[in-house]
């Protein structure tokens, strides 16, 4: 089926639909109307209908959405019906925290390898996965069908290491280093900035405080 281009804003909302639908399924709910889903998710029913219409709707008028079907279809759209092999570069505080997060596997993200430059970390295992040195990276990527690399190294090294990953065949980078990577267009980069999320929280907390001080 040919799919029309879907905006990144819609894609950005899909994981949340996926999570809510997963919870509904666990609770034994088989059908849900866009109005009920809207109340739970605190987004408008029309937003839900518009978002899901991008993919053909999945709902029948007056009948609601089939929760399991919608969950499965959104999972397919997000590529969660397939496994994705992942490596982590930089196994310090953040890299280790990510490596220890076992729930990734339940979504099909398989942690295949950990890499660092610190020789003291060589061979140390995190959740059964040994830390390797960077000189093993090239062969490892080729032999283990690695699709995604998480980059949890210092900012100063990120650009150089990202280029090396791409040279060695990695097609997608989950970038935690606080720097923009300029890479060939066919390389997919997802930047993660916890601090930006915290700044948004700070804005909202500040605004809330100001509003209540005025009362
Ligand atoms: N995006 C976010 O939300 C977020 C949150 C926390 C930290 N960070 C960033 O993530 C990075 C890691 O943070 P941390 O607290 O884990 O740091 P850390 O110092 O604990 O770990 C960094 C690791 O990278 C390794 N390393 C350094 N150069 C390397 C290279 N060229 N190749 C491979 N490995 C290399 C180091 O040996 C070390 O083990 C930093 O850039 C930090 O700013 C981002």
Whether residue 188 is found in the same domain as residue 104:
yes
Contacts of 57 (CB under 8 A, 6+ apart): 49
Average pLDDT rounded to a whole number, residues 158-178: 94
User: Model confidence over 102-128: pLDDT tens digits?
Assistant: 888 988 999 999 999 999 999 999 999
Please tell me whether 90 is known to bind a ligand: yes
Structure tokens at 170: 């990695």
Average pLDDT rounded to a whole number, residues 78-92: 96
Whether residue 24 is found in the same domain as residue 94:
no
| pLDDT given at position 132 | 98
Instruction: State the residue range of the domain holding 47.
Output: 8-77
Please indicate whether residue 34 or residue 201 has the higher confidence score (pLDDT).
201
Whether residue 121 is found in the same domain as residue 73:
no
* pTM given for the model: 0.88
Please indicate whether residue 126 or residue 65 has the higher confidence score (pLDDT).
126
Whether residue 113 is found in the same domain as residue 184:
yes
Whether residue 32 is found in the same domain as residue 131:
no
Confidence of residue 58 (pLDDT cuts 50, 70, 90): low
Residue with tokens 């994705």: 84
| pLDDT given at position 1 | 45
- Ligand 1 site-directed mutation target among 89, 92, 124, 191, most atoms within 8 Å of CB: 92
Whether residue 56 is found in the same domain as residue 89:
no
Percentages of the chain per state (helix, strand, coil), in multiples of 5: 50, 20, 35
Please tell me whether 92 is known to bind a ligand: yes
Whether residue 41 is found in the same domain as residue 140:
no
- Ligand 1 site-directed mutation target among 152, 170, 190, 197, most atoms within 8 Å of CB: 152
Whether residue 146 is found in the same domain as residue 184:
yes
ipTM over 0.90: yes
Average pLDDT rounded to a whole number, residues 48-75: 81
- 189 falls within a domain: yes
Single residue among 56, 77, 98 that ends a domain in this structure: 77
Ligand 1 and 134: CB distance under 6 A: yes
| pLDDT given at position 150 | 97
């Amino acid at each position: 089926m040919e799919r029309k281009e879907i905006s990144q804003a819609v894609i950005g909302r899909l994981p949340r639909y996926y999570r809510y639908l997963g919870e509904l399924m666990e609770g034994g709910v088989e059908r849900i109307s866009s109005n009920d889903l809207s109340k739970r998710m605190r987004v408008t029913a029309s937003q839900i209908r518009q978002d899901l219409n991008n993919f053909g709707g999945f709902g029948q008028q007056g009948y609601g959405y089939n929760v399991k079907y919608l969950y499965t279809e959104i999972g397919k759209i997000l590529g969660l019906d397939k496994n994705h092999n992942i490596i982590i570069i930089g196994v310090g505080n953040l890299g280790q925290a990510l490596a220890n997060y076992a729930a990734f596997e339940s979504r099909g993200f398989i942690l295949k390898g950990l890499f660092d430059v610190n020789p003291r970390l060589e061979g140390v295992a995190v959740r059964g996965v040994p830390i390797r040195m960077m000189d093993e990276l090239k062969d490892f990527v080729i032999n283990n069908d690695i699709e995604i690399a998480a980059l949890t190294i210092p900012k100063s090294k990120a650009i150089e290491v990202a280029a090396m990953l791409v040279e060695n065949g990695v097609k997608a980078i989950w970038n935690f280093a606080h720097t923009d990577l300029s890479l060939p267009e066919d390389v997919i980069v997802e930047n993660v900035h916890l601090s930006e999320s915290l700044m948004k929280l700070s804005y909202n907390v500040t605004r809330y405080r100001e509003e209540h001080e005025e009362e």
